[in-house]
Structure 1
């Protein structure tokens, strides 16, 4: 494995050598992943130019093109295909190397052969298939944090025409990467209990027809680990006014009584332990992550004709994910606000008992779910002859039905049960949203390759895509003890009532030029029993995309190419977890005009370099933002999905492998990515709504909305030149692999160095949205016996226990109402997503 070997990929839906494909592709075989230590999608980002991954939100970004929200109606921008089946999660891409033949990361829009949501690129996961001969293998891993992983596979023939493969795995970690200091509360951070089983059948039906079938089942019973689990920290003091200004007093650090757990300073306030240690936290609600009744199915049937193959690829999934999390992010269970002195609670009102002390129970529990079903069908016809003119054509259909119920419950706050102007709320939700939508997509596509000279080839492809999304959203918001609840609580005589402020306004979305977006929003109706506001949303989008390029291959060792590709991503709805029933529910489609130059070069069989340079003209990036409405009406600024009119992503990437001497292989990847907004203005930064922070550039007249915390008008900003989120400007990965060969076997040592530049988690390029640059060192020793029967791997990742950041940081204001002084701002909370701490362990593999 210290030599440079030919790697066969299917990036263009036919088997080709990686060095013959005019696409920027990073490919990882199972064997290479074992030797270097690429065990997860997060590990893959370290070695893949342009790729970043938010493991808590399960969101992928490639060359600055990605998704920065978990709203399901806002599609991902990097398509994930598992054995040809489109997926809206990274489940299959995160499978261990034992079960995966290879993973291919295609950089740049794949607007012809893949199409659906591949505006930024595509990830192909190809499973290990059943074998002609019997084989079996078991693996066991033991690591720190009381981590264990057991895996097994068996494969072989059942008859001359039928082969089978069975895979199973069980992964468990008992100690968390983050320490909860509240007595009796469990640790979090990769505390997991996950199992995986899979059955594959490979079949021959005569000489010309062959088939393959796969069914996979996942089950998670995690405690604060896995996708959505704790993977971040906020090194700011607890807010001593409230957690969220639109809700009610969630005083994490205000003076309190009856507190259980946590750390208390002499003044009687709770102290955030993350200020001094990013791996410590204090909450009173344990997080859990579960996946149940989750199945993935894939099938493939190929009929071989004389000069072409007819192939059907179909499958789908049933997927149910649940996250229970602490919403108030603090350890305080109860405290009392003494309503005395100032404001409407004057001394006189207090003396006659109108304004009485208020007991707050700030425990807030989030229940986030994704309940999805999807399936796809593809039929394609591919040439297989040896002529100069090759072609591929096909048709595609995709269907998805999802529910995304999200609620936040205040279980101990009695006022939420009986809001003064709405039906009873016995579950004591302050936030309850239940979007349910369906998505139907279809496409036809074709691509031709013409080798018109011995060294020159032209490629042209075209795809027509149509997306139709429709369904309903239901939402209710109950507000308590704030002026934002619609009436000043002080004027009500006390802070006791809760107010139902469920939005009932509805409108149509508009593009940046003012023209209406396609779609229908049926007027909102409020259910008198549940209090949920309900409306119907229905919209369609379509696009013609494609590619054209030319390849020059003067010899077997050089390939140079130039290409243009256009990518497309459907619009969506501003529904569900962003905000309850907003007045601008639609987003427009995205498009990406991509220009790329590439060179793939093999030199003397000891050096290989793949170089690409790209320029993207990216239009209508869907971003959740706050928009200023300057129509003169009060209070019309709102959070919604906004199409950033134009962004630019440009850069270059290098992937190189060199074997300078026998038994030594050096690997290096480097990416430079300058991704920024080119046109966008009038957008309010929710962390700095009056555009007063250093670097802010006010744009247009102020909003009619007054910021109650400063008394100034909210102000939109000009964002031209701001960085695109999750796009570090520089990424570097180095790996050295050396082998010693002995009579009993081979010992291989691997050392990796990873560097990633700073990046931002928001479209506002500010210090409070910046995660610092970081680096990491990984070490690995692999022993394999001479008969290749067993392998022992000892590894350490993040050897120096450095803080690494998987995404740009995000921020909020620590603002709220102090009963003594009124609205106040205490500063800014910045949240940093962290890569894993130092881990080390031993893996044993045995092959039968």
Structure 2
């Protein structure tokens, strides 16, 4: 372990001294007023600011210390996985292209053109492409995880729910902070912001992130120490507010990001045929790569938005105009091991196999049997996403309130897949969407309110083929040829609707019920063109969801207890069959899929100095299509437990759970403080996240299933109220759990695991 490499405590001390020496006037005492009750939380799930307890939707929020602790070790957005009930995330594309799942519903497609049923909203702008979803999180005001279909207000591709990130906005008063941390593996994590009023009408806030971690994984084949595993991620956000009158509010948001690092670390044959769990070939600190240039990754993306709010009296006009752009590449040794001529020495600490190929060449592979090399580079080029929303909402105190609007989305980009055998193939994607929507709330009485919403969406996607198998070895030797592909276009129009009711039993307890309908737009997948396959399509999936729950603030607002039960049915559920003999990606529709379960979470202020939280979610999903067949592992190295169709060899997956759908998630946190006079406190904070049984693929095997995985985090430090600073030590995955997060089944039993334990120290100071 390279603890505090390239950075020392002296760095933090220096920052602290420079900060203290600044001539910014500090408030004499910034200790928050504490009445011994839980903090009130407001959300914008219905595009209005409301108390979370008044919104008839299942919502979880993250902010402040809980959020900052989760990302203190330099983790990306995947750190949210299992930290929130019903939410899971994983990736086989490093720190870009995360895949999200909510209440079991998601998409395992690893292509850069994949669609997802969990929508990511950043500062009121949808991040549709998977690369845009990975924009780093910093200077965040609040995260809202909104479960269940959100098609009325947020549109298509929200059948599972949305995750809404809101940045801290500029204010009239001066505000600034610096947050700096160092830790294991050369971790350096700096975040800061400064903002305030520039003139009577202008405000601004500049936020920055500079985060890096050293390479720490050895390439056992080349002998190169510290060959991969690190990253460098820099991002900037500039927000400028213009408020010339009380009625007009304009906010400009510009943001940019540069990432260089390592794509996913693929580990060959770390699973044993017929068993679950990692085997002796697994070494967290070492892999054996003969190709892939140590799996580099680099991406640049930027964007801007203009949010205009104009108070017309009884009506408020909101306009959100945004543009997002991105380019980048990832290269990977997908087989995760070595295949070479059988000469020279071989590693003594892992399994290796000697064999002859079809041409009687003597070969050796390790770890374990690898039948052929697999190396792939994916490039995203010229991504441009333009969105425009115009919304009118009522601005009165009448029992009837409403909002209505129009929405436009346009996106274009190309994806180039470069295979070591077939060469480079480029496909172009275009997507245009428009929608009209409305939602109405009526307060029937002081206790009962009802909400109804309706949206019509028209969505069109198209795919065309550019260069194909360019410079491919397969074409040169005659094993492949240039194919003639027609352009592919799919379009559909769908209605989405919802109805909700909220009943206040008392001032502290409310009950709600919700029925909602939504859809995930039809999809096109063109990755198989790179391997002389045909593009595949899937028609739109539609969901009908039922939910009921309660929200309560009990024991004089010291106990918050919320819960929900849900059931949903998806017709024509879109599935991505990944893997098989050629590691293909094929879209298909299953007849139906169902999910049901519950979430219950509690936050309890036991004493003035002790706050604990706990939550549990249960999620049962099931595919229902007796005719659906899915190709099993192309390597033959796995052990399917599904019945195999004797005619076509595919697995019968009727009755299987959805892929990457944890049956259960349990979370718990605790924070204990020890007052240090009136000037500050010492605190101890811990968090625990447990993931129940999870099937990695559509078909079930003995190898590609996990159960009982968990991670534990700790944080301890000192807060000084008078000088408004905090210094703390932290640890993430402190028991150094080795958790399997993803697998590849076409070449061997390749696995992808979680991040190792990270320890560090962090300093934060606020200025006013």
TM more than 0.5: yes
Match for residue 385 of structure 2? 374
Match for residue 401 of structure 2? 390
Q: Secondary structure at the match of 2:82?
A: helix
1:218-273 Cα deviation digits (max 9, x unpaired): 11122x2xxx43276641599xxxxxxxxxxxxxxxxxxxxxxxxxxxxxxxxx99
Match for residue 613 of structure 1? 565
Cα distance change, pair 471–638 in 1 and its aligned pair in 2 (3 A): closer
Stretch of structure 1 that moved more, 434-443 or 280-289: 280-289
Give 2:247's match in structure 1, choosing from 186, 190, 208. Answer: 208
Cα distance change, pair 4–358 in 1 and its aligned pair in 2 (3 A): closer
Match for residue 574 of structure 2? 622
* 2:311 counterpart of 1:300: no
Stretch of structure 1 that moved more, 186-195 or 57-66: 186-195
Match for residue 15 of structure 2? none
Determine if contact 1:52/1:806 at 8 Å carries over to the other structure.
no
Give 2:118's match in structure 1, choosing from 51, 67, 78. Answer: 78
Q: Superposition pairs for residues 560-709 of structure 1, below 5 Å? A: 560-576=511-527, 580-583=531-534, 585-604=536-555, 605-625=557-577, 640-687=586-633, 695-699=641-645, 702-703=647-648
Listed as ranges, the gaps of 5+ residues in structure 1 are: 239-271, 346-354, 410-428, 487-496, 505-523, 525-533, 629-634, 704-714, 815-828
* 2:210 counterpart of 1:275: no
Q: Which has the larger radius of gyration?
A: 1
Cα distance change, pair 330–237 in 1 and its aligned pair in 2 (3 A): farther
Determine if contact 1:727/1:760 at 8 Å carries over to the other structure.
yes
What is the CA-CA distance between 1:196 and the residue it aligns to?
1.1
Match for residue 154 of structure 1? 194
Q: Secondary structure at the match of 1:88?
A: coil
1:419-463 Cα deviation digits (max 9, x unpaired): xxxxxxxxxx52422111110011111011111122111111001
What is the CA-CA distance between 1:205 and the residue it aligns to?
2.7
Q: Superposition pairs for residues 239-254 of structure 1, below 5 Å? A: none
Match for residue 10 of structure 2? none
Listed as ranges, the gaps of 5+ residues in structure 2 are: 1-33, 344-354, 366-370
Q: Secondary structure at the match of 2:527?
A: coil
Match for residue 424 of structure 1? none
Give 1:56's match in structure 2, choosing from 81, 89, 92. Answer: 92
Q: Secondary structure at the match of 1:696?
A: coil
Cα distance change, pair 542–449 in 1 and its aligned pair in 2 (3 A): same
Cα distance change, pair 343–830 in 1 and its aligned pair in 2 (3 A): closer
What is the CA-CA distance between 1:774 and the residue it aligns to?
1.2
Determine if contact 2:424/2:530 at 8 Å carries over to the other structure.
no
1:283-327 Cα deviation digits (max 9, x unpaired): 133335444542121220000122221000111211012112224
In 2, Cα distance between equivalents of 1:626 and 1:146: 36
Q: Secondary structure at the match of 1:112?
A: helix
Cα distance change, pair 658–189 in 1 and its aligned pair in 2 (3 A): farther
Q: Secondary structure at the match of 2:185?
A: coil
Determine if contact 2:122/2:166 at 8 Å carries over to the other structure.
yes
1:351-394 Cα deviation digits (max 9, x unpaired): xxxx9999999876422112211010000011121111111111
Give 2:754's match in structure 1, choosing from 835, 839, 843. Answer: 835
Q: Secondary structure at the match of 2:66?
A: helix
Match for residue 480 of structure 2? 501
In 2, Cα distance between equivalents of 1:503 and 1:299: 45
Aligned-pair Cα RMSD in Å: 3.4
Greater relative CO, 1 or 2 (CA 8 Å, sep 6+): 2
Determine if contact 2:459/2:521 at 8 Å carries over to the other structure.
yes
How many aligned positions are there?
704
In 2, Cα distance between equivalents of 1:317 and 1:627: 31
What is the CA-CA distance between 1:24 and the residue it aligns to?
0.6
In 2, Cα distance between equivalents of 1:232 and 1:844: 36
Cα distance change, pair 233–85 in 1 and its aligned pair in 2 (3 A): farther
Q: Secondary structure at the match of 1:76?
A: coil
* 2:259 counterpart of 1:220: yes
In 2, Cα distance between equivalents of 1:476 and 1:616: 42
Cα distance change, pair 233–199 in 1 and its aligned pair in 2 (3 A): farther
Q: Superposition pairs for residues 644-793 of structure 1, below 5 Å? A: 644-687=590-633, 695-699=641-645, 702-703=647-648, 715-743=649-677, 744-793=679-728
What is the CA-CA distance between 1:131 and the residue it aligns to?
1.5
- Structure-1-length-normalised TM-score: 0.77
Determine if contact 2:637/2:749 at 8 Å carries over to the other structure.
no
Determine if contact 1:473/1:576 at 8 Å carries over to the other structure.
no
In 2, Cα distance between equivalents of 1:343 and 1:221: 38
1:48-97 Cα deviation digits (max 9, x unpaired): 11111114341111111111113344311111111111103577776776
1:657-703 Cα deviation digits (max 9, x unpaired): 0112221111011110001212243414332799995633244x613
* 2:562 counterpart of 1:551: no
* 2:306 counterpart of 1:314: no
1:786-812 Cα deviation digits (max 9, x unpaired): 2252111211112211222445x4423
In 2, Cα distance between equivalents of 1:200 and 1:310: 21
In 2, Cα distance between equivalents of 1:218 and 1:174: 19
1:94-145 Cα deviation digits (max 9, x unpaired): 6776511101111101010001311110111111111211122112110011
Match for residue 348 of structure 2? none
In 2, Cα distance between equivalents of 1:720 and 1:689: 23
What is the CA-CA distance between 1:332 and the residue it aligns to?
4.6
In 1, Cα distance between equivalents of 2:615 and 2:563: 10
Determine if contact 1:433/1:577 at 8 Å carries over to the other structure.
no
Match for residue 77 of structure 2? 41
Determine if contact 2:189/2:210 at 8 Å carries over to the other structure.
yes
Match for residue 236 of structure 2? 197
Cα distance change, pair 738–62 in 1 and its aligned pair in 2 (3 A): same
Q: Secondary structure at the match of 2:203?
A: strand
* 2:453 counterpart of 1:461: yes
